[in-house]
């Protein structure tokens, strides 16, 4: 029998990929068919996404499936969170599509708190404070582009926007929408009262749909370009929500670390925890598949090392950087990876050096020394986060499930096992795309539910274990 293919388009802040998946004897197999670079472009000091080029890449990857003779029965797109497009009454994009590292949200928290206190906002939404959350971005729209905001008829987040371009169907997916900080964790719909309080046009927002919803088929125009038709299904379109679906275990109460541009460390809860302890530690309750909540913390993540690598002119692969770091084990300096100076510095290497200088730490110099400082500091911050989660939830975990690209960083996995004292279970590296596929396969009745799909992921992919050595 010919295999049935499902296509995941997983676009991260630094790269995107098209992954085809199919079932083979009860196991899921995946194949990367297309990959492209991504990054915010700097346009006169504004950090923007080039959505046209992203969409062109989506199409290129879809064409690749045709070339390979592997036409998917369905497809879905996930991306990072919080960013959005404003559409006019002809459904055309209005103005810039800002990237979340843009500085325009500086000071916007204070503007929001004039309307609702920080504490009340957390109680109401359960979403951690990140200066780039959509709520602060929309507040900044009110200041820097009020005309465009007024003109906007539709607010649509990036995966939904791309899927609209493919199908002509406009809709909003729930998991990604929760990252706006405008969704009520009880009703799982927009918090219209909050939106009104902020003075934002509530009519821009579309009813939220759960992952698994079938959106529609390709428009005639797209069918012609790619050479086939397929069904577009909503996955958990926030990449982290898809990644968490692919944690390779059926156990409850699991500690995961979704490791990519960001490190997202947390667990799943059936009810959002919007208490003070969680707020103080800045834990979020983002919406997950099947009405679960992702109780997690954003840690600056591999973005720091990605940036350093670029600054060394991509002379080293990530594996080589790990190796160099391992050989530079003597360096004792540690940085606070979540310090805001690392969010969007002009030069990351310089930011690390000046952090060390300002804190009387030995200043790292070589690529290996810098990488060692970063990796070890990340591992330390994972250990702090584990302690906070265990304390807040009164649970002890035995293992950390590392999923996403960072699962391939053996050196970091070992450091994490050492700093936390937990077993690190690493893989799958393509967790986000796999989660995206899982939602499609569940919608197509390949699996009964999330648990069955997770069991399949556990049995299908190569998973490595790391134990504490020192
Ligand atoms: C990871 C991620 C995080 C989100 C950040 C910004 O790719 O989606 O979950 O906080 O990017 O959108």
d(CA 409, CA 315): 18
Global ipTM: 0.99
pLDDT beyond 90 at 329: no
3-state secondary structure of 446: coil
Q: Give the closest residue (by CA) to ligand 1 atom 11.
A: 80
Q: What is the mean pLDDT of residues 56-73?
A: 98
Q: Give the closest residue (by CA) to ligand 1 atom 8.
A: 80
3-state secondary structure of 188: coil
How far from 259 is each of 149, 182, 459, CA to CA, in Å?
34, 26, 21
Q: Which atom of ligand 1 is nearest to the CA of 301?
A: 1
pLDDT band, very low/low/confident/very high, at 324 (cuts 50, 70, 90): very high
d(CA 127, CA 114): 18
* Predicted local distance difference test score (pLDDT) of residue 269: 98
Pocket of ligand 1 (CB under 6 A): 12-13, 80-82, 100, 238-240, 260-262, 264, 298
196 is catalytic: no
Kindly report, residue by residue over 340-352, the tens digit of the pLDDT.
999 999 999 999 9
Kindly report, residue by residue over 159-217, the tens digit of the pLDDT.
999 999 999 999 999 999 999 999 999 999 999 999 999 999 999 999 999 999 999 99
Contact indicator for 401, 297 with CB cutoff of 8 Å: no
d(CA 85, CA 420): 40
Annotated catalytic residue within 78, 160, 191, 239: 239
Instruction: Give the chain's domains with CATH numbers.
Output: 5-233 (3.30.420.40), 246-470 (3.30.420.40)
* Predicted local distance difference test score (pLDDT) of residue 158: 98
* Predicted local distance difference test score (pLDDT) of residue 112: 98
Q: Which atom of ligand 1 is nearest to the CA of 261?
A: 7
pTM of the model: 0.98
Which residues pair with residue 47 across a beta bridge? 42
């Amino acid at each position: 029998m010919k295999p049935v293919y499902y296509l995941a388009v997983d676009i991260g802040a630094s790269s995107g990929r098209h992954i085809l998946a199919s079932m083979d004897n009860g196991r899921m197999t995946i194949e990367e068919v297309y990959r492209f670079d991504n990054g915010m472009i700097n346009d006169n000091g504004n950090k923007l996404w080039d959505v046209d080029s992203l969409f062109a890449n989506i199409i290129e990857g879809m064409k690749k499936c045709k070339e390979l003779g592997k036409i998917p029965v369905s497809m879905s797109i996930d991306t990072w969170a919080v960013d959005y497009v404003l559409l006019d009454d002809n459904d055309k994009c209005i103005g810039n599509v800002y990237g979340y590292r843009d500085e325009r949200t500086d000071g916007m928290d204070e503007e929001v708190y004039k309307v609702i206190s920080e504490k009340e906002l957390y109680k109401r939404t359960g979403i951690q404070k990140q200066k780039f959350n959509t709520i602060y971005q929309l507040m900044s729209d009110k200041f820097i582009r009020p005309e465009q905001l007024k003109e906007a008829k539709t607010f649509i987040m990036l995966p939904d926007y791309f899927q609209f371009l493919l199908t002509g169907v406009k809709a909003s997916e729930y998991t990604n929408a929760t990252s706006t900080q405008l969704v009520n964790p009880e009703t799982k719909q927009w918090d219209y009262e909050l939106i009104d309080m902020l003075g934002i046009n509530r009519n821009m927002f579309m009813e939220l749909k759960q992952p698994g919803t079938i959106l529609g088929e390709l428009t005639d125009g797209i069918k012609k370009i790619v050479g086939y038709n397929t069904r577009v299904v909503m996955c958990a379109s926030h990449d982290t929500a898809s990644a968490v679906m692919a944690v390779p275990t059926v156990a409850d109460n699991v500690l995961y670390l979704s490791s990519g541009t960001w490190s997202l460390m947390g667990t799943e809860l059936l009810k959002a925890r919007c208490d003070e302890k969680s707020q103080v530690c800045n834990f979020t309750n983002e919406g997950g598949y099947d009405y679960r909540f992702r109780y997690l913390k954003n840690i600056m993540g591999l973005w720091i090392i990605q940036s350093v690598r670029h600054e060394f002119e991509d002379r080293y692969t990530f594996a080589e950087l790990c190796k160099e770091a391992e050989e530079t084990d003597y360096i004792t300096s540690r940085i606070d990876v979540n310090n805001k100076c690392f969010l969007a510095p002009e030069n990351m290497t310089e930011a690390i050096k000046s952090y060390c200088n300002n804190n009387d730490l030995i200043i790292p110099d070589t690529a290996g020394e810098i990488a060692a400082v970063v990796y070890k500091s990340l591992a330390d911050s994972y250990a702090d986060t584990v302690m906070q989660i265990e304390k807040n939830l009164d649970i002890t975990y035995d293992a950390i499930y590392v999923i996403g690209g960072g699962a391939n960083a053996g050196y970091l996995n070992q450091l994490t096992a050492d700093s936390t004292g937990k077993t690190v279970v690493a893989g799958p590296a393509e967790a986000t795309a796999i989660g995206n596929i899982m939602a499609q396969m569940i919608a197509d009745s390949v699996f009964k539910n999330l648990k069955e799909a997770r069991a399949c992921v556990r049995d299908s992919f190569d998973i490595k274990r790391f134990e504490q050595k020192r």
